[in-house]
Amino acid sequence: MRLDLAASYGEERLPRYTSYPTAPHFSPAIGADAYARWLSELPAGASASLYLHVPFCREMCWYCGCHTQIVRRDDLIAAYQRTLHSEISQVAETIGRRIKVEHIHFGGGTPTIMAPEAFAELMATMRQAFFVLPSAEIAVEIDPRTLTADMVEAMRLSGVNRASLGVQSFDPVVQRAINRVQSFEQTASVVDMLRRAGIAGINFDLIYGLPHQTVASCLETVRRALELAPDRFSVFGYAHVPAFKKHQRMINEAVLPDGLARHDQACAIANALKEAGYVQIGLDHFARPDDAMAVAFEDRTLRRNFQGYTTDKGEVLLGFGASAIGHLPQGYVQNEVQIGAYAQNITSGRLATAKGYGLTDDDRLRADIIERIMCEFSADLGDICARHGVEAGPMLKSASRLKPLISDGVVRLDGDRLAVASDSRFLVRSVAAAFDAHLDPGKQLHSRAV
């Protein structure tokens, strides 16, 4: 990594581009009626992916950027789970037919906070409402500190075949500073339980840029994690946005690594994982060479959605639960964030859509360009623009942020083909942002570019 570029661009606040346009541009102008119309207009051959958001945890991790709340009472979780059943049925009825499902993802919060029998019932409801393909990937995000053997058995019986474990860091000093004390032994025990149950796809989430974190502690975390041989790693930079996530104020900003230190940590983790035989995929994922994600990266079929990089090729993502986001050919929708408002809508027989965004032709074009840049570090602008019925020239002229990136050697432009220099890939979000017509640099809505 070139340190001069890290210094020049690293402090920019930029989206991670898990969608385009990004969520801050969603508007209440797109509500339940628009979502119902979009669902009814889905083409006959459409297949979908499902995302279910479970916004509950037993305690708050201070680094968390998710929509979640702390609960001690299981009856609140049970009531929420019943609301999810109703929403799934409403959406399926609005579509009017039992469409195919290729991917299911449980996120949160802590999805496994549900009672095992409730989880199994929820899976049964989805299988009744939709045609879940036998080959479907069914993934669950897991907090290893709270997973039980009974829940692992419920997951096995429900067809779960991938688990994403939050690890973040094995350094006890870092763990105490973020209010997430989780021993290596706890994590190892959960990995063993999952594999014994036949849940073979194991992902680990790591974070750099946390309080008290150093290159040495990051490398020690990687070393211990490699002992458990997960199939994939997701490696994210901590986004410190206490103005939006008030619990992050519990983190002492004085002990947060600066931009250069974050860069060193990211590089050290990436190099260690590549030396261990993992393939780097896009900005922040790593996978074994024979893993489906590595194959998709090699085949140039890798996609990007709200879970990050994915092998999911579908154009329809149905989101269920408070704050859940969906993506349809017509645009994006997001449910009410507050659990009470979400539940009130669903129990009254109305979809819980609070806001969304209707895509324009220009949005679709830019979304394709940004996705290719984020997934491949390159984009054939001539080919992409031709598929959208426009010329590449005006698009390049409109990308004023591209000029300094070219002059600084971050980007190479060969005719209409754009490529991010190999030593500048850590700035891929800066390159993608050059094609973001909605970006307002004055608003500090996003995490740092490095």
How is 335-379 classified by DSSP, letter by letter? E-SSHHHHHHHHHTTS--EEEEEEPPHHHHHHHHHHHHHHHHSEE
**CATH code assigned at 350:** 3.80.30.20
Whether residue 6 lies inside any domain: the answer is: no
- Rounded to the nearest 5°, which phi and psi values hold at 319? -100, 135
- The answer on 429 and 347 residing in a single domain is no
pLDDT of residue 140 exceeding 60, the answer is yes
Q: Could you tell me the pLDDT band of residue 110, with boundaries at 50, 70 and 90? A: very high
Q: What average pLDDT score do residues 353-382 get?
A: 97
Of the candidate ranges 376-380, 406-410, 444-448, the one whose mean pLDDT is the lowest: 444-448
- The answer on 376 and 275 residing in a single domain is no
The C-alpha atoms of residue 346 and residue 79 are separated, in whole angstroms, by 12
**CATH code assigned at 426:** 1.10.10.920
Parent domain of 259: 18-358
What's the pTM? 0.93
Provide the pLDDT for residue 13: 77
Whether residue 405 lies inside any domain: the answer is: yes
- The answer on 145 and 47 residing in a single domain is yes
Whether residue 282 lies inside any domain: the answer is: yes
**One-letter identity of residue 215:** V
Q: Which of 300, 334, 358 is the last residue of a domain?
A: 358
- The answer on 66 and 136 residing in a single domain is yes
Q: What is the pLDDT of residues 381-391, one digit of tens each?
A: 999 999 999 99
Residues counted in the chain:
450
- Rounded to the nearest 5°, which phi and psi values hold at 235? -125, 105
- The answer on 209 and 123 residing in a single domain is yes
Whether the CB-CB separation of 375 and 282 falls below 8 Å is answered with: yes
The beta strands (E) that lie in 10-121 are given as 13-14, 47-54, 56-57, 69-70, 100-108
Q: Which of 317, 337, 358 is the last residue of a domain?
A: 358
Within 10 Å of residue 163's Cβ, how many Cβ atoms? 29
In angstroms and rounded to an integer, the radius of gyration of the C-alpha atoms of the chain is 21
Whether residue 5 lies inside any domain: the answer is: no
Element spanning 382, H or E: helix 381-387
Q: Which residue has the higher pLDDT, 226 or 313?
A: 226
- The answer on 442 and 341 residing in a single domain is no
- The answer on 290 and 313 residing in a single domain is yes
User: Does the bond joining 21 to the residue before it have cis omega, within 30 degrees of 0?
Assistant: yes
Whether residue 240 lies inside any domain: the answer is: yes
Closest C-alpha to 234, from 200, 265, 280, 194: 280
Provide the pLDDT for residue 10: 67
Provide the pLDDT for residue 275: 98
Per-residue burial over 117-147, b if 16 or more Cβ lie within 10 Å, else e, is ebbbbbbebbbebbebeeebbbbbbbbbbeb
Whether residue 7 lies inside any domain: the answer is: no
- The answer on 57 and 118 residing in a single domain is yes
Q: Which of 333, 358, 383 is the last residue of a domain?
A: 358
- The answer on 353 and 414 residing in a single domain is no
- The answer on 344 and 381 residing in a single domain is no
Angle between helices 116-129 and 74-95 (to 10 degrees): 10
Provide the pLDDT for residue 193: 98
The C-alpha atoms of residue 368 and residue 112 are separated, in whole angstroms, by 34
Long-range contacts of 407-411 (CB under 8 A, 24+ apart): 408/5, 408/8, 409/2, 410/5, 410/9
pLDDT of residue 228 exceeding 90, the answer is yes
The domain total for the chain is 2
Whether residue 173 lies inside any domain: the answer is: yes
- The answer on 338 and 264 residing in a single domain is yes
Whether residue 25 lies inside any domain: the answer is: yes
- The answer on 245 and 380 residing in a single domain is no
- Rounded to the nearest 5°, which phi and psi values hold at 330? -80, -20
